[in-house]
Structure 1
Amino acid sequence: MGTQKFSFKRLIIALNNLIEKGIYKPEDIVMQSTIYDIKPRFTHVGLIPVNEFNQYIQEAELVITHAGVNSIISCMQREKALLIVPRLYKYKEHIDNHQVEIAQLMEKKYNILVLYDTSHLEEMIQKAKLHKYKKWESHKASLIEAIRKEII
Structure 2
Amino acid sequence: MIFITVGSQKFQFNRLLSEIDKLIGEKKLTEEVFAQTGYSDYIPKNYKYKDFLDRDEFKEIMEKCDKVITHGGTGAIISAVKQGKKVIAIPRLKKYGEHVDNHQIEIVNQFSNMNLICKLDNLVNIVDAIRYIENREFKTYCSNTQKIISSIEKFINN
TM above 0.5, yes or no, is: yes
1:79 to 80, 84, 100: 84
Q: Superposed, which structure 2 residues align to 1:1-152 within 5 Å?
A: 1-24=6-29, 28-41=32-45, 42-152=47-157
Q: Which 5+ residue runs of structure 1 have no aligned equivalent?
A: none
Q: In proportion to residue count, which structure has more strand?
A: 2
What is the Cα deviation at residue 96 of structure 1? 0.8
Using the alignment, how far apart are the partners of 1:143 and 1:67 within structure 2?
A: 24
CA contact (8 A) 2:35 2:49 kept: yes
What is the aligned length? 151
Question: What amino acid is the match of 2:127?
Answer: E
Question: Percent identity between the aligned chains?
Answer: 30
- CA-to-partner distance for each residue in 1:130-151, whole Å, 9 max, x for gaps? 2221110110111011110111
Using the alignment, how far apart are the partners of 2:116 and 2:39 within structure 1?
A: 30
What is the Cα deviation at residue 88 of structure 1? 1.0
Using the alignment, how far apart are the partners of 1:98 and 1:106 within structure 2?
A: 13
TM-aligned CA distance change 1:38 to 1:48, over 3 Å:
closer
Using the alignment, how far apart are the partners of 1:38 and 1:77 within structure 2?
A: 29
CA contact (8 A) 1:83 1:112 kept: yes
Q: In proportion to residue count, which structure has more helix?
A: 1
CA contact (8 A) 1:33 1:47 kept: yes
Using the alignment, how far apart are the partners of 2:40 and 2:50 within structure 1?
A: 11
TM-score computed with the length of structure 2 as normaliser: 0.88
Q: Give the CA RMSD over aligned residues.
A: 1.6
Q: Which 5+ residue runs of structure 2 have no aligned equivalent?
A: 1-5
TM-aligned CA distance change 1:47 to 1:111, over 3 Å:
closer
What is the Cα deviation at residue 24 of structure 1? 4.1
SS at match of 1:110: coil
Using the alignment, how far apart are the partners of 1:102 and 1:23 within structure 2?
A: 29
- CA-to-partner distance for each residue in 1:37-81, whole Å, 9 max, x for gaps? 322122111221212212211111211011111111111111111
Using the alignment, how far apart are the partners of 2:54 and 2:42 within structure 1?
A: 24
What is the Cα deviation at residue 111 of structure 1? 4.5
